[in-house]
Amino acid sequence: MLEIRNLHARIGETEILKGVDLVIPDGQVHAVMGPNGAGKSTLAYVLAGREGYEVTAGEALFNGQDILAMDPEDRAAAGIFLAFQYPVELPGVGNANFLRTALNAIRKKRGEEELDAVAFLKLARAAAKQLAIKEDFLKRNVNVGFSGGEKKRNEMLQMALLRPGLAILDETDSGLDIDALRIVAEGVNALRDGKFSALVITHYQRLLDHIVPDVVHVLANGRIVRSGPAALARELEASGYAGLEAA
Amino acid sequence: MSTTTETAIQELADRKYKYGFTTDIPMEAFPRGLSADIVRLISAKKGEPDWLLAWRLKAYEAWLRMEEPHWARIQHPPIDYQSLYYYAAPAKPAPKSLDEVDPELLKTYEKLGIPLNERAALAGVAVDAVFDSVSVATTFRETLAKAGVIFCPISEAVREHPELVRAYLGSVVPAGDNYFAALNSAVFSDGSFVFVPKGVRCPMELSTYFRINARNTGQFEHTLIIAEEGASVSYLEGCTAPMRDENQLHAAVVELVALDEAKIKYSTVQNWYPGDAEGRGGIYNFVTKRGACRGRNSKISWTQVETGSAITWKYPSCILQGEGSVGEFYSVAVTNHHQQADTGTKMIHIGRNTTSTIVSKGISAGRSNNTYRGLVKILPGAAGARNFTQCDSLLIGNECGAHTVPYIESRNASAKVEHEATTSKIAEDQLFYCRSRGLSEEDAVGLIVNGFCREVLKELPMEFAVEAQKLLAVSLEGSVG
Ligand SMILES: Nc1ncnc2c1ncn2[C@@H]1O[C@H](COP(=O)(O)OP(=O)(O)OP(=O)(O)O)[C@@H](O)[C@H]1O
Ligand SMILES: [Mg+2]
């Protein structure tokens, strides 16, 4: 369970999050929508522990643990995964090597046995196949020269392997073709097991056709200004965000 | 400070430089200081022929007339050459076979990860183990001898193959080449000798493992590798030393000779003790390495991963004399804390259609200084010569320095010389990306740095690439956060 209460955060002198309240019970998927610059990515980064974001008030608990006090790697080990809006390139770092290093780092922190190269490749190939990802993906350097959509698929591959308890998807659907969209949704749905939860940041209803959210929130000007059932997303697509920010 | 904290700190330091132990065995050393008499003593100890003693003495005379060079971007207090020991060796007489090697020495190399027992050894790698001033063991000699390859301590080669040594010694790096080469030529006590005859591909990787153990002792090895027509060989050297507060001098000379169609691949993983975080102690590494591509289409390839030493001063070079000959230099130099590295290469194009490639990756962290210094020289006869140079620097933190000093002298209009250089920092978003996937900050740095060095690391023989990767990560410990 993710519990965010009265979360305030700033970048430098500018306050971006101005009191976010959001609770995602186990097993639920919540969508966060909202205008450009509202603070959606900021919320995602603060939850994942990026430097440069100063939390000035409020709290965020995951399964009762104060995650704001933890290093990013410890949050990852606790089960938080962020699929980046703009995945980062790592020149010279092989994708398979990166994935295995990450997986083993997390397994080690959780007191599980590390995987050898053979066992890992078996797992990675299976996951890649599920996501209709070409195998040469594993051999290439992390995100280097990947198309926009390929980068997003690569994020999903990482998620599938790391099996988080909470996935934060920051506009993972942007730049995806229709098939990829369905595959990403299947990737998320495959993890839904009654315990896994997700915070899905998106601008479009079409993703939510495939990943049906339990709750839809609107984040505007650093606050959740409206929450409602899945139908809210459709409503927003028709009416836009006008008038919501003042609420 | 409580003793528990002290042990904790000691443990941490030991973990960072895990080769910092000393070996306790009876040693024999000559008196401190350098003189013509010491040179004579070394030569006599080795039972050398007169021509070699004369060569040493000439080098010594030359050294006396020379001055320590100061053009590199390095700083150090004056070195007192008279306070050093120029010869130190295990007191027991040299073992005749592996079975006779002192068990303490076997244990030392075992601890360093270099088992000298042939059954336990890395498959396909023959090792010459040099301990302070002498070679203590060479493995797989019989296997190599069957192929016609000579791989032995140079002191033994002087006795067993004097005509070969005499023909090639000093033919690439003359005794009076530079201050440190002259010093080495006067007092060198061992090193490896490799001879691969015409048409032979050496059946194993050859490697020399250099270990400085004794206090206040300089290590001066002289390595000579000859590949005759159509021969090929891959050679690797590794180096470590105990952790000591004083600086120790290592001034080696390496000479390579490649005849027609011959190929020599020379790889170095240099991990001499770098000194502590405050810059106390560490090895002064002043090394002259040069290869002569004498024959047509010959090739010499230098790959170096330099992580250790307080100071590194080293420019493995190629003299591209034979038509169509190829020179390569792939380098990773890492400096952390107060380390200083001034390293690079010289590619001298003499023959027609000679080509050279230089890929240098400099990584600086802490308060260290890292300089690439390179010369590409195209002589008038080198029609069609080509060079490609790429120098990338990676900075970690704000207190370190990276410098690139490329010299290009082209005296042939048909030559093509290309130079690319970049300087970057480890980006915050890269670190965060890795950490959000569960990697610790140090592992993230290690991964990114290894990626940055990929083009060089892939040139290393497989067996050593993994070791080198680990080494990179370890040498940058404590550089972030
Ligand atoms: N490093 C930064 N320095 C200053 N301002 C920043 C920085 N990063 C983000 N901001 C500002 O914070 C605000 C929120 O940005 P954020 O990226 O969270 O928006 P978003 O809701 O994800 O928008 P989008 O829908 O366009 O992705 C924006 O006004 C942005 O300009
Ligand atoms: Mg965003």
Distance from residue B150's CA to the centre of ligand 2 (Å): 65
* pLDDT in the model for residue B478: 66
Identity of the residue numbered B78: P
* pLDDT in the model for residue B281: 86
Residue B309 · residue B285 · CB < 8 Å: yes
A41 lines ligand 1 (CB under 6 A): yes
Asked whether the predicted pLDDT for residue B264 surpasses 50, the reply is yes
Tell me if residue B56 falls in helix, strand or coil: helix
Beta-bridge partners for A22: A4
Identity of the residue numbered A186: E
Residues on chain B touching A91 (C-beta within 8 angstroms): 451-452, 454
CA distance B65 to B60: 9
Residue B182 · residue B175 · CB < 8 Å: yes
What is the mean pLDDT of the segment spanning B65-77?
92
Tell me if residue B393 falls in helix, strand or coil: strand
Give, as residue ranges, everything with CB less than 5 Å from ion ligand 2.
A 40-41, 85
What is the mean pLDDT of the segment spanning B252-267?
97
pLDDT tens, position by position, B304-335: 999 888 999 999 999 999 999 999 999 999 99
Beta-bridge partners for B359: B330, B390
Identity of the residue numbered A83: A
What is the mean pLDDT of the segment spanning B416-433?
92
Distance from residue B429's CA to the centre of ligand 2 (Å): 15
Asked whether the predicted pLDDT for residue B463 surpasses 80, the reply is no
* pLDDT in the model for residue A143: 96
pLDDT tens, position by position, B27-49: 787 888 999 999 999 999 999 99
pLDDT tens, position by position, A3-31: 999 999 999 999 999 999 999 999 999 99
Q: What percent of chain A has pLDDT over 70?
A: 98
Give B136's pLDDT tier (boundaries 50, 70, 90).
confident
**Which value, in Å, is the radius of gyration of the alpha carbons in chain A?**
18
Give B131's pLDDT tier (boundaries 50, 70, 90).
confident
* pLDDT in the model for residue B479: 67
Label the pairing between strands A80-83 and A166-170.
parallel
pLDDT tens, position by position, A108-146: 998 999 999 899 999 999 999 988 888 888 999 999 999
Lowest mean pLDDT, pick from A32-46, A140-154, B122-136: B122-136
* pLDDT in the model for residue B111: 75
Q: How far is B153 from chain A (nearest CA, A)?
A: 39
* pLDDT in the model for residue B2: 35
What is the mean pLDDT of the segment spanning B212-224?
83
Query: Is B142 in CB contact (< 8 Å) with chain A?
Result: no
User: Which CATH architecture describes the domain A2-239?
Assistant: 3-Layer(aba) Sandwich (3.40)
Give B144's pLDDT tier (boundaries 50, 70, 90).
very high
From atom 31 of ligand 1, which residue's Cα is the shortest distance away? A37
Which has more pLDDT, A104 or B281? A104
Tell me if residue B271 falls in helix, strand or coil: coil
> Average model confidence (pLDDT) for chain A?
93
What is the mean pLDDT of the segment spanning B276-301?
93
What is the mean pLDDT of the segment spanning A203-224?
95
* pLDDT in the model for residue B246: 80
